[in-house]
Structure 1
Amino acid sequence: MKHTLKKAALILVLFLGGCSSITFIYNQFDNLFPWYLQSYVDLDRDQKKYLDELLTPFFQWHRVEEMPKYAQIIGDLELAINDEVDIESITLITYNVEESWFRLEDQMIMWATPLARELSDDQITKFIQVLKTKTTQSEKKLLVRNDQVYQSDSYKSLRKNLRRFMGSLTKDQLDLVKITSKEMKRVDAERIQSRKAFNEKLSLILQREQGWEERLKKITHSDDLVDENYQSTYTFNTDLIQHLLVAILNSRNDKQDQRLRTQLARYKADINSLAN
């Protein structure tokens, strides 16, 4: 149930918005994240205080351990574009991005477990209800699309992310994006079913019967939650996107190359500053 583009955006959001906004977003995240969590569950004053205490080591770990790895990922991309980009380099970078996500997931579960002990049964019930409601909302929004709308949304998403790094794309590059978006297989129905299965499993775990904490720690690695067709479709789409990136990067003009290198250098410098 992993989506490369979504994960990359989540993990690397700290350096997708430009240098000045990276520091602001990251330094405000310890304030924003509790607010986001409270959109799922109402915490009392003592629980909010405990949440703040739990966040301190979590962000310390993230700054010290993970931020340098993000900088390394950017460094790997900088090296890759010094020569003709090959699919092996992009595949390795994608793998490292996903591994970063897995580590972040694991740490967030470990961090959230102590707070889950403190929630009342009523809070847990409402938390699960909100999860299921949000899944239903996503289902209605995503599955109403026909194939043409799905392809159009895929095209716009790919184009937007490429423009963020390289600026305006040429007609030939846009044609490549359009071809890729048309070849991508729909995965939204399987994604929703996977999310529903996750919600149900989490609901059972949070009944907090004996051994629930160990089961919670392993929930993000539950292969049984991933439908075989979903996983194969995800792999197919990932491969398409990786080959698109190779083609776009190898067809970039001087202006696009300068913008890309400037963006990457700014992101890496800002991340190194935050890590230190």
Structure 2
Amino acid sequence: MFKHLLFCFCAVVLLLTGCTSKFSYNNVDWLLYWYVDDYVELEKSQKKRLDVKVEKWLKWHRQEELVRYRQHLEELKSQVEQGNISEEQWLSHLARASSHWQRFRDEISLELSELSVYLNDQQIIDMFEALEKDNLEKVEKRNKKTEQERWQENKEDTTEQMQDWLGRLSEQQKILISESVEKFESTFESWIEYRREIQSASKNLMLNREKQSDYIEQFNQLIQNPDQFKSESYIKASQHNRKVYAALLADLLPTISEKQKRHLIKEIDDLIDDIQDLIED
């Protein structure tokens, strides 16, 4: 459960897009319970323990991490203003974004492991049943679509993402996006397999925690090393897709108009302003 809690907490914390993000960040405890309630019902004492930890994590995140996010965005903005950004530079930015998540995960993983001790067996069973229900729903939803429909949806999603950053796209830019999406490799089956592997390992460990003298350390290591549950094909496909995405960004930037460039810089500035407001809160 607390492995999943880590994901949703981090997702809420990293939602830094406009006024809604500031509301989300400053109300992360309320949003966290709203989200977790779909998976397990926490007892009053469990909520109190979690409250203490969430307050501590947010304080650390506000004091230590937000400054790093702001600096990263300022460097990205500077590169955009200067001109082209190479595929290698985009890959570096993507890797750096991943490091933000990894640093956050590593900061709180031990305390999450300690909190997991307070869940009872029924809560653990209920939570993993809910997670598997999610898995089945995702599989069912995907199987209802043809390969062509999935490709079209992916193209539309990618196009929408670029429009959010650049504004209205040119036909040339739409073609670049379409050609790049065709190069993406599907990772859905591998991703579902990964989810089930890590969920199974977490469930087994948590239900046998009283038999493990080093349970907390084992669970901490599980949280900090999720890649051990990924297949080689999943890792390779993910690396390929990241490279394709970086190449798309590198190809798009030289095509943007002055209007699109102003739009992009404004979007980055808005994020920087949001982060600065959160730092000063």
Structure 2 length-normalised TM: 0.89
User: Does the aligned pair in 2 maintain the 1:143–1:189 contact within 8 Å?
Assistant: no
The residue matched to 2:182 in structure 1 has which SS?
A: helix
Deviation at 1:42?
0.7
Q: Any unmatched runs of 5+ in structure 2? A: 1-6
Alignment of 1:45-84 (within 5 A): 45-81=44-80, 82-84=82-84
Q: Distance in 2 between matches of 1:234 and 1:109?
A: 24
User: Does the aligned pair in 1 maintain the 2:114–2:216 contact within 8 Å?
Assistant: no
Give the aligned partner of residue 214 of structure 1.
217
Deviation at 1:146?
2.5
Q: Distance in 2 between matches of 1:107 and 1:134?
A: 28
Residue 227 (structure 2) pairs with residue 228 (structure 1) = no
Deviation at 1:151?
1.0
- CA distance 1:11–1:98, shift in 2 (3 Å): farther
Q: Distance in 2 between matches of 1:48 and 1:10?
A: 19
- CA distance 1:28–1:223, shift in 2 (3 Å): closer
User: Does the aligned pair in 2 maintain the 1:41–1:126 contact within 8 Å?
Assistant: yes
The residue matched to 1:15 in structure 2 has which SS?
A: coil
User: Does the aligned pair in 1 maintain the 2:63–2:279 contact within 8 Å?
Assistant: yes
Deviation at 1:219?
1.5
- CA distance 1:254–1:11, shift in 2 (3 Å): farther
| Cα deviations by residue, 1:159-188 (Å, 9 ceiling, x for unpaired) | 121111111111110111111111111111
Of 219, 228, 240, the residue aligned with 2:244 is 240
Deviation at 1:11?
7.8
Q: Distance in 2 between matches of 1:125 and 1:108?
A: 23
Q: Any unmatched runs of 5+ in structure 1? A: 1-5
User: Does the aligned pair in 1 maintain the 2:13–2:25 contact within 8 Å?
Assistant: no
Q: Distance in 2 between matches of 1:149 and 1:37?
A: 32
Deviation at 1:13?
4.7
Q: Distance in 1 between matches of 2:119 and 2:15?
A: 30
- CA distance 1:227–1:186, shift in 2 (3 Å): same
| Cα deviations by residue, 1:84-143 (Å, 9 ceiling, x for unpaired) | 221222111111101111122333433422321111111111112112221222122224
The residue matched to 1:183 in structure 2 has which SS?
A: coil
The percentage of aligned residue pairs carrying the same residue is 22
Q: Distance in 2 between matches of 1:11 and 1:185?
A: 28
Deviation at 1:65?
1.5
Q: Distance in 2 between matches of 1:223 and 1:233?
A: 14
Letter of the 1:236 partner, please give it: H
Q: Distance in 1 between matches of 2:13 and 2:268?
A: 12
Of 246, 251, 258, the residue aligned with 1:254 is 258
Alignment of 1:1-276 (within 5 A): 10=11, 13-16=14-17, 18=18, 20-81=19-80, 82-207=82-207, 208=209, 209-210=211-212, 211-220=214-223, 221-276=225-280
Letter of the 1:55 partner, please give it: V
The residue matched to 1:185 in structure 2 has which SS?
A: coil
- CA distance 1:226–1:113, shift in 2 (3 Å): same
- CA distance 1:48–1:11, shift in 2 (3 Å): closer
Letter of the 1:227 partner, please give it: S
Q: Which moved more, 1:70-79 or 1:187-196?
A: 70-79
Number of residue pairs aligned between Structure 1 and Structure 2:
268
Deviation at 1:34?
2.0
